[in-house]
Amino acid sequence: MKLTFFFLTVVMLQASATGYAQLITWSGRNVPVEKIFGIIRQQSGYTIVASRDVLQKARPVTVSAENMPVTDFLDLVLKNQPLKYVIENKSIFISPKTTNLAAPTVNTEAAAPLDIKGKVTDDSGNPLPGVSVRVKGTAQGISTGADGGFALRVPGDGPVVLQFTYLGMVPQEVTVTVSTTLNITMKMAVEQQNEVVVVGYGTKKRSDVTGSISSVPTERLKNLPVTNVLQAVQGSAAGINIVSNTSKPGSSPAFYLRGMKSITASNAPLIVLDGVPFGGTYNDINPNDIASIDVLKDVSATAIYGARGANGVIMITTKRGKSGKPVISYNGYGGPEFQSNVMKNMNGEQYRTKNHWYNIQAGRPTAPDLPYLSEQNNFANGVPEVNWQKEIGQQGYIQSHELSISGGTDNVKYYVSGTYLKQEGTIKGYQFNRSSIRANIDANVTSWLKTGLNMFLVNNNNDGGKATLFDANSLSPYGTLYNAKGDYEIYPIAPQTLYQSPLVNLYDPGLNRTKNMSASGYAEVSPGFIKGLKYRVNGSYSYRPVRTANYTSRKAGDQLGSAEVYNEETKQWIVENLLTYATNFNKHGLDFTALYSAQRDELFSTKLKANSFINDNLDFNNLTAGQVQKTESNYTSSSLLSQMFRANYTYDSRYLVTATVRRDGFSGFGKNNKYGVFPSVAVGWNVHNEKFMAAAAPVISQLKLRASYGKSGNQAIGAYQTLTRMNTAQYIYDGVTTIGVIPDVLGNANLKWETTKGLNVGVDFGLWNNRLSGTIEAYNTNTFDLLLSRKIPAVSGYTSVFDNIGKTANKGIEVLLNSRNIESDNFTWQTSFNISFNKNKVVSLYGDNKDDIGNNLFIGKPLLGIYDYTMTGIWQEGEDMKIDPGAKPGYIRFQDRDGSGKIDAADRSYLGSQLPKYIAGLTNTFTYKNVSLNIFVQSVHGQLRPNYILDNRDQGGTVNLPAEIPYWTSENKINTNPSLIYNNPKGYKYAQDASFVRIKDVTLSYTFDKKMLERYKIGHLMMYLSGRNLGTFTKWTGWDPETAPTSSTSTATRLNNGQGGGSQSSDFYPLTATIVFGVNISL
């Protein structure tokens, strides 16, 4: 493209109807005019619009001015230059001077002028007011109105090139030869899409940010078949580690930032929704309602949230209404889901062969190949084999429908949406549906009062009994599917009762429902008597009920019938008072924010159990029908009181300083440590605004250095953890059963916050007019006063007490690169790449400098360690096995690490961690005219995971096994997998490299031509085909390397330290691939 428009950022300080009264103070020698225009932008707030080709014809300028009006300063700068300027509203348009040459008189008829009108919208169909529409090579132009419309009359003496430019959007050129109506769609520019970021209790221009903030690309928040916003964010921003350890419908990934810091407490970041801390789950937030996600990562950025900021803060902003006519939009998609990388079980012949070899290895070669009577009978009678995986499977499907309306006037704006999502899992019984409604309203009541209200209601439903993949993987293909009554056979390989039918749980009419009813509002007062002063009050209230119920019937193997009902309700209210003041004088900028807030949380739960029902028709809806009943209830309440002060200072848009201090008080702490204070400081330097950088301006368009240091906290403890607590118990007194209390937990009044101190340094850069831009950051954090259970003498009546005694550390490097590789009239190619390296370690535990092997905690090593033997091969026939007494041919051979001549517990060592060494994401976006192709690839490397699918335990002759995994025999003397009779006496975890590269999602979309759509009164129409989890490249053996022990499926991210069943768990659910067709339409 011959012309490249550049914008020097719009700063709309105040609308002016009286002319151009801003004053410029500046001096310099032999300075390029581009640099001077940047100075004008900084000091006046005007937008400069010019052609790069035009500016290249200008000569360097020597100028000195003090308190000079903008127009006089421009006259001085452009004196004797081949340039001229025109000022319209808050924009200065630069164009070449016209040269008047004498020409022979020609009698000709003047060409009729061209009338050009049209509308400019974004890629969602929303109108864009304020877009500059200029005639190329001239100063003629106009800005679009509130509805995105424009109208121009230009001379008709030849083709006219119109230039469309808008802050944060990719500039466009359109050639016009006749009077016409244009419909222009502008796309977001990669490097400018997050020009304004949410920083906590406010927003900032990215150029003024001093802390570490990652913004999730807006493309990740739409047109993807996800039920949870974290699924869309995964891999898209540096430093954010999201582990999708299950694809169960309605599940939420584990999530942490910049390494794990806490051992026993949560590592989950704080959610802040529309400026207010949010107590719900990510499933409560509809991804289609989200306008932006900003992630506060370093301690200085998160210290503003004090005791809850140590794990990072996720700032989620939902969509708001815009001025203009109402826009009605429908977004919908639907498509099938499939299990990814299925580990097929052995068929009948393979199963019998496996059992035959098992019997030989067990020393009983004449034993039947089918060990159980039901298997033998089914085989003898020619009963068809049962493919248990097929029996529990079903065609998965996902669909989502959203209808929204938004619009408003200059004084009142609104956004209302309703969504319904339905997901049927690939395993019978697994389903999730969500229905939600949201309303956001903003109003300018007077010139000094603004108010707003956000309300939403969401209902999540995971009802139903669920089939178990674990049992399906274990059962013999000669098992019995149905009994004589036509019901599922409870024990398919009778008389064996260890493995039930994977289908009997479908008889459970279970309930699993959660709701979230939340409302928040604000009022903002801007008194005119002190310019820049604002007072704002935020308030929110949420009510979150949970109901679960299940019933195990006689058909499911419980001959008495058992029921359980659980009800929970959580209430939370928050009130925040904010006072802000901002002022600018000369080259100085100051703003202050003060906060006083209060929060209260209450939880009440009941659990009711009953068994011995007279029949299965009553189930949990009539617990009194059970003969044995048990009731439980629980109540907790806590409150948080906070004060915060933040100061920002800027000088000449070059030097930036931010200082923050927050004080939090939590009711759960004892009187000795009720409050915590969390300060931070950050500095930044916009090097590209320095005079000495003027010569480098054509190459270096942005360069900022920043550094920060601060302290933040993790609340860590429960509401009553500092108190010594008693528990109730039944005892017999004088022949009567009585309720009494007994000691339960020893409290510690000295418990305090887990605290993280951190240093962050970074550089933000842009090269060749931001053709290549990015960020490089390094951080070092130390977390101390970790909450750990410390052993104490039993004579005290207790064996342990919680204390603040541990330390962990994290350090790492993060890189983000954005590039515009190709830009032409019809074709563009943009790339975004991020990579994050993290090194985690335990610094200290209990003060004795010793490892805690039992809990997989090792000083100087990362958390989630794998402490185990080192496998060197398989013992073969004829080898000397005296080093490992009890070993046989086909057993695993381990390394004698200590050289003792004997394999024992001393030969175990730290092999690695489940935490990855680095994670990365690569996005390529190609557009050709109206067609767009987006490809996102995720990469996770350097992590070990226990692979329990390789562990036959003592069931090698009982259970079915994956057909793809070999086993050692005297005729197949492999050196990688043990024999069938190997029962893993040493508890080996079979740790494997769980690194992988995944084609996470691919989206192909087509946007229909605006001119065609206007004939049908349609503002925007896009159709797309999107696929997710389309391919995985890994050395892992099994279903998927990302599946994890079930204890890590919680967003609390208290990952199990290498223990747990993983794919052997009863609720194991495999990774799914999804392909959907979708449509977005706006009227």
| pLDDT at 204 (0 to 100) | 67
Integer Cα distance of 774 and 778 in angstroms:
14
Exposure class string for 314-335: b at 16+ Cβ within 10 A, else e = bbbbbbbbbebeebebebbbeb
Full set of structural domains in the chain with CATH: 5-96 (3.55.50.30), 114-187 (2.60.40.1120), 191-321 (2.170.130.10)
**Residue 999, pLDDT score:** 94
How many whole angstroms from its chain centre is CA 646?
27
Strand locations in 136-279, DSSP E?
A: 141-143, 149-154, 160-165, 172-176, 180-186, 196-198, 203-205, 213-215, 240-243, 254-257, 270-273, 276-277
What pLDDT sits at residue 100? 46
CB-CB neighbours of 860 under 10 Å: 11
- Ranges of beta strands (E only) in 943-1010 are 944-946, 991-993, 996-1007
Q: Tell me, what's the pLDDT at 124?
A: 65
Residue whose C-alpha is closest to residue 506's, from 392, 361, 619? 392
The confidence score (pLDDT) of residue 16 equals 31
Tell me the C-alpha distance between 228 and 924, whole Å.
23
pLDDT at residue 52 in the model: 60
Q: Which residues of the chain have pLDDT under 50?
A: 1-21, 99-109, 190-194, 1045-1063
Would you state the pLDDT for residue 680? 92
Q: What pLDDT is stored for residue 1061 in this prediction?
A: 37
H or E segment to which residue 776 belongs: strand 772-791
Residue type, 159: P
Task: Report DSSP letters for 627-678, one per residue.
Answer: EEEEEEEEEEEEEEEEEEEEEEEEETTTEEEEEEEEEEEETTS-GGG-EEEE
Here the tokens at position 201 are 């209790």
Q: What is the reported pLDDT for 51?
A: 61
pLDDT tens by residue, 74-108: 888 888 788 888 776 567 878 777 544 444 444 44
pLDDT for 1062: 42
State the Cα–Cα distance between residues 791 and 52, nearest whole angstrom: 71
Token pair, residue 966, equals: 């070999």
